[in-house]
Chains A and B, each alone.
Chain A
Amino acid sequence: MVPARYRVADRTDESADTVTLTLEPIDRPIPTPGPGQFSMLWAFGVGEAPISLSAIDGTRLGHTVRAVGPVSRALASAPVGATIGVRGPFGRGWCPPGDDAGPAVVVAGGLGLAPLRPLIAALVAARPRRSVRLAIGARRPEDLLHRGDLRRLVDEPGVSVDLTVDVADRGWRGRVGLVTDLLDASTVSGTEPMAYVCGPELMMWFTARRLLDLGLAPERIQVSLERNMHCAIGWCGHCQLGPSFVCLDGPVYDWAEAEPLLAVRGR
C-alpha cells in the first residue's frame, strides 16, 4: 500500500477540466501496465484515486485526469516537477485480439476515450493490420480528448474515425447526436469483430444494446466498469459489484459477465 514516487514530466490540457499528466519514475518503476489497467495515483496529503492508463511508453505513464473531486482536482493541478505517488498497475485490462480476430470496433464516450487510448495504439501498431473502427462521442467539440491522436489516426490505413458531439456551434462541421447513431451494419461487418466500449455507464449500456441488435455476441463486447476504490487489491471492500471486486475481476468485463451485474439497480 506504499506508492512509488513519480515526477510530473509533462502536462497537457485536454479541455477546461481535464489534463493528461505524463509521469516518470523517481523510485523503481511499477511493472509495465497493459491497455485497460489502472493505477492508484496519490496526491500528497489529499488522497488516492484510481485513474486508467491513457498512455504507456516504456516507464513513462500517461494518465488523463478530470477534476471532479478533491483528489482529482489536486492531481489535475499538479505542476511539472511535482511528485505524485503511483501504485499499480491493477485490474484486468482489455482482452488482446486473438490471432483469428477480425475488425476492432472501439466506442468511446467522453472521458471513456482515455482508457481506450493505449488499446487503440496497440491495435494500430499490431501486424498483420486489422480494421480499426472508432466511434467517439463527446459533449462538445472542445471536450474531445487527445485531438492530436485523432488527427493522426484519420490518416492511418485501415482506421476509420467517426465523431459526434451532443451540441455544437457553427464551427463544427461534423455530426451532432448520440454515439450509438454512429453504429450501423457496416460497423460490425466482417468476421468475428470485437467491440471495446468505454464511457459513462448508461452510455455503455445503450451502446452494448445497439451492438447486440446489430448482431454482435455479448462475449464479443468488452466494457470497462468503474466503482469507488480505496485499495485496488480487494481489501477495502468498496468496489464490490455483486460477487465481483471490480479492482480484481475488472475493470474490463465482457458484456455476458457485466450485463447481469449491472441489470440489478443499486447493487
Chain B
Amino acid sequence: MPSTSSPGDDPAPGDRASTIVPASELDRLIQVLRRQGRTVIGPTLGDGAIVNDIVESADELPWGWTDEQAPGRYRVGRLPTSEAFGFANPTQSFKRHLHPPRTVLFAASRDHGGGSAEVPVTIAAAESAPPALALVGVRSCDLAALARLDAALTPRTGSRATRSWGDGAGATPTANVDGGPLRALEPFVVAVSCSRPGQTCFCASMGTGPTPGTGYDLALTELVDGGPHEFLVEAATDAGRAVAAELLGRPAGAVDHGRAAAMADRAAAAMGRRLDPDDPPAAGRHLDHPRWRDVGDRCLACANCTLVCPTCFCGATEDVTGFDGEPDLERTERHLVWDSCFGSSFSALNGNPVRASTADRYRHWLLHKLVTWHDQFGTSGCVGCGRCITWCPVGIDLTEEVAALARPTTGVAS
C-alpha cells in the first residue's frame, strides 16, 4: 500500500530504513516484485523514445540513455555514463494504470426472441479484477500526479448541501465506492529521484520535486556522481521495507545521504523552467485578456497535452453494440474512454458547443489545470512534468502563457 505519511514527514537520515545497493541489485528488486505476482511497469527504450512498458528484467531499463526535451521537441540520446534513470521522464506517466484509456462499465443484453413489445433487458456490472502492479521509476512529478488523479477520480457529492424536501427526498446518493482507483489498484510504488531534469521540467516551482514526496513504498536515488554506481533505497511502508530487506546492500550512512542531497540540490537548480505561483490566480482574473485569442490562434486543438498530462482525467461514455452471431440476442457494453476538452464537441449542448473557439477551450484547460483545480480539489492540477510543453506540436509553453496572462494588458492586442 502506498504510504499514508504526510508531506514534510521526512525522517532524518538514519531514522529510515535506508540502504545502499549496487546498481546490479535493480534486477533483484524487479524479480522480487514479479515473484509477488506483480506485473512490473517501468521505463524502457522503444521506438526512439523512453516509454513505460512491462519490464521483466533490469536489462530492459534504458541504461545510459537520456532524453532532450524542449517545446515541441523530443529526442533520446546517449550518455557517457550508464545510468538506468538518466532521463527526465518517460513519454507517458503512469496515468493509464489508474485511469485506463478504455474501461468497461457494464454489459447488457436484450432478447428479441420473445416476439412481444416488452423486450427484456439484462444488465451485469463489469467485474473488476485490477491487476497486481508494481510501478518502477516513478518520478516525483508523476508520484504527485498519482495522488491528484486519484482524488479527481474518486466519486463524490457536490460542494454545497443537498436540498431536503422532507422524508429524505432530494438527497444525492453517495457513491458506494470506498476511495478511488488507487485504493482499488494498490500498486507497489518505486519512486526515483530526479538527477537530470529536462528543459521543460518545473516540478521544483510546483512543489512536487525533484525528490519524491509521499505515496511510495520505496524511493530510489541513483548515485552517479563519480563514485560507485549505487542506489540509495529508502522504504516508507512495511511492504517497502519487506522488499528492501531482500536486496543485498549495506545500511546507508551520513555520507550516502549527503551524496543524495547534493544531487537533489543540483537537480533543483537545473530545472528548465519555472512557474510563479502568483501567476495562475492572476491569469484566472483576466478572462478577457487578448493573450487568450493569441494562444488560441497558435493552438491546434490536437489534444496532445491532455493525452500526456498525468492528471487530465476527462472521459466520455459510449455504447458498443453488436449481435455477436446470435440472431435474437442484442448485446451492448457501456465504456468509459479518455476524452479531451479540446475536442469541438466536448462542451456540446443540444448540438452546439459552449466553448466554440480554440481560445475558449485553451482557456478552459489552462484555468482548470492551474486555477479551478484548487477550488475543486484543494491542490494544483499541474505537477510540473513539462510533458505538455514537449509534446505540443507548436511548442506552446504554459509557464510562458500563464506569465503573460497574469500581466495586465497594455491596451493593445498583439
Q: Identify the A interface with B (CB < 8 A).
A: 1-3, 5, 7, 30-37, 42, 44-48, 56, 68-69, 79-83, 85, 88-96, 122, 226-228, 230-231, 233-238, 240, 242-245, 247-249, 252, 264, 266-267
Q: Are A230 and B106 in contact (CB under 8 A)?
A: no
Q: A92-B162, A227-B349, A233-B156 are in contact. Are A83 and B173 (CB under 8 A)?
A: no
Q: A31-B173, A44-B121, A236-B317 are in contact. Are A249 and B105 (CB under 8 A)?
A: no
Distance between Cα atoms of A35 and B163 in the complex (Å):
9
Per-residue contact bits, chain B 319-332, to A (CB 8 Å; 1 contact, 0 not):
10100000000101
Task: Using CB atoms, name the residue of chain A closest to B371.
Answer: A243
Please report the number of residue pairs spanning A and B whose Cβ atoms sit closer than 8 angstroms.
Answer: 173
Give the distance in Å from the alpha carbon of A7 to the alpha carbon of B121 in the complex: 10
Q: Chain A CB within 10 Å — which of B287, B313, B314, B317 has the most?
A: B317
B319 touches A248 (CB 8 A): no
B210 CB to nearest chain A CB (Å): 29
- Number of residues of chain B lying within 8 A (CB) of chain A: 66
Q: Given A93-B163, A236-B317, A236-B339, verify A30-B169 contact (CB < 8 Å).
A: no
Most buried by B among A37, A81, A240: A240
Query: Which of B118, B123, B314, B350 is the one whose CB lies under 8 Å from A236?
Result: B314
In the complex, chain B residues whose CB is within 8 Å of the CB of A237: 313-315, 339, 341
B175 at interface by CB-CB < 8 Å: yes
Q: When A230-B316, A236-B315 are in contact, do A44 and B156 touch as well, CB less than 8 Å?
A: no
Q: CB within 8 Å of A: which of B310-362? A: 313-319, 321, 330, 332, 334, 336, 339, 341, 346-351, 354-357, 359-360
Instruction: Tell me which residues across on chain B come within 8 A of A233, comparing CB atoms.
Output: 155-156, 175
Question: How far is A248 from B175 in the complex, measured between Cα atoms in Å?
Answer: 12
Report 28 cross-chain contacts, Cβ distance below 8 Å, ordered by A residue. A1-B334, A34-B171, A44-B110, A44-B121, A45-B332, A56-B169, A69-B350, A69-B351, A79-B117, A83-B118, A85-B108, A85-B123, A89-B170, A92-B162, A228-B346, A228-B349, A233-B175, A235-B315, A236-B336, A238-B339, A238-B347, A240-B368, A247-B158, A248-B157, A248-B159, A264-B287, A266-B355, A267-B287
Give Cα A82–Cα B120 distance, bound, in whole angstroms: 8
- Indicate which residue in B119, B314, B348, B354 contacts A267 across the interface (CB closer than 8 Å): B354
Which residues of chain B are near A44, meaning CB under 8 Å? 108, 110, 121, 319, 330, 332
Given known contacts A34-B171, A83-B120, is B336 in contact with A92 (CB within 8 Å)?
A: no
A3, A34, A48, A85, most chain B CB atoms within 10 A? A34
The answer for the CA separation of A94 and B349 in the assembled complex, in Å, is: 22
CA distance A12 to B321 in the complex (A): 29
Beyond the given A45-B110, A233-B175, A245-B376, could you list 10 further A-B residue pairs with CB under 8 A, ordered by the A residue number?
A3-B106, A34-B162, A47-B318, A92-B158, A93-B170, A122-B165, A227-B347, A228-B349, A230-B315, A236-B336
**Considering the chains assembled together, what is the distance between the CA atoms of A234 and B15 in angstroms?**
41
Closest to A87 in B: B173
The answer to whether A45 touches B315, judged by C-beta atoms less than 8 angstroms apart, is: no
Bound: A94/B367 CA distance, A: 29
Task: Output the nearest chain B residue to A234 by Cβ-Cβ distance.
Answer: B156
Give the residues in chain A near B346, CB-CB below 8 Å: 228, 238
B residues in contact with A33, CB < 8 Å: 169-170
Which A residues are CB-close (under 8 A) to B372? 240, 242-243
In the assembled complex, the CB of B14 is this many whole angstroms from the nearest CB of chain A, namely: 44
Whether A30 and B123, one on each chain, are in contact in the complex, defined by CB atoms closer than 8 angstroms, is: no
Known contacts A92-B162, A243-B372, A45 near B321 by CB under 8 Å: yes
Q: Which residues of B contact A266 (CB under 8 A)?
A: 354-357, 359-360, 363
Instruction: Give chain A residues whose Cβ lies under 8 Å from the Cβ of B414.
Output: none
Q: From residue 366 to 397 of chain B, which have CB atoms closer than 8 A to chain A?
A: 367-368, 371-372, 375-376
A81 touches B332 (CB 8 A): no
For A37, list chain B residues within 8 Å (CB): 170, 172
B158 and A82 contacting across the interface, CB-CB below 8 Å: no
Query: Pick the contact of B171 from A2, A31, A245 — CB < 8 Å?
Result: A31
**A32 contacts B168, CB within 8 Å?**
yes
Q: B interface, by DSSP: helix, strand, loop or mixed?
A: loop
Scan B148-162; emit 1 where CB is below 8 A from any A CB, else 0.
Answer: 000001011111101
Contact between chains at B171 and A92 (CB < 8 Å):
no
Please indicate the chain B residues that have their CB under 8 angstroms from the CB of A42 in the complex.
334
B331's nearest neighbour on chain A, judged by CB, is A45
Q: Within the complex, which residue of A34, A45, A249, A267 is in contact with B164, where a contact is CB–CB below 8 Å?
A: A34
Cβ-defined contact, A235 with B155, below 8 A: yes
> Using Cβ atoms and an 8 Å threshold, which residues of chain A touch B319?
44-47
Contact partners of A95 in chain B: CB under 8 A: 163
Task: Give the chain B neighbours of A82 by CB distance below 8 A.
Answer: 117-119
Pairs A-B, 7 closest by C-beta atoms: A34-B170, A248-B158, A237-B314, A266-B360, A81-B118, A243-B375, A243-B372
- Residue of A whose beta carbon sits closest to that of B333: A45
Q: Measured between C-beta atoms, what is the minimum distance from B355 to chain A in Å? A: 5
A23 to B109, CA, bound (A): 20
Q: Judge if B278 is at the interface, Cβ distance under 8 Å.
A: no
Contact check: which of B123, B321, B330 meets A3 at CB < 8 Å? B123
Name the residue on A nearest B346 (C-beta): A238
A261-B156 Cα distance, complex, nearest whole Å: 22
Whether A234 contacts B155 by the Cβ 8 Å rule is: yes
Evaluate contact between B172 and A91: CB separation under 8 angstroms. yes
- In the bound complex, do residue A83 and residue B121 qualify as a contact, i.e. CB atoms below 8 Å apart? yes
**Is A35 touching B170 in the complex (CB atoms < 8 A)?**
yes
- Inter-subunit contact B158/A245 (CB<8 Å): yes
Which B residues touch A244, using CB under 8 A?
Answer: 159
Q: Taking each of A7, A30, A32, A44, which has the highest tally of chain B beta carbons within 10 Å of its own beta carbon?
A: A44
Are A90 and B170 closer than 8 Å at their CB atoms?
no
- CB of A250, distance to nearest CB on chain B (Å): 8
Residues of B near A94 (CB, < 8 A) are 163
A35-B318 Cα distance, complex, nearest whole Å:
29
The answer to whether A267 touches B165, judged by C-beta atoms less than 8 angstroms apart, is no
B50-93 at interface with A (beta carbon < 8 Å): none
Counting CB contacts under 8 A, is B178 at the interface?
no
Partner of B105 from the list A1, A34, A240 (CB cut-off 8 Å) is: A1
Instruction: Give the docked Cα–Cα distance between A251 and B69 (Å).
Output: 43
Identify which of A32, A90, A226, A236 contacts B316 (C-beta below 8 A): A236
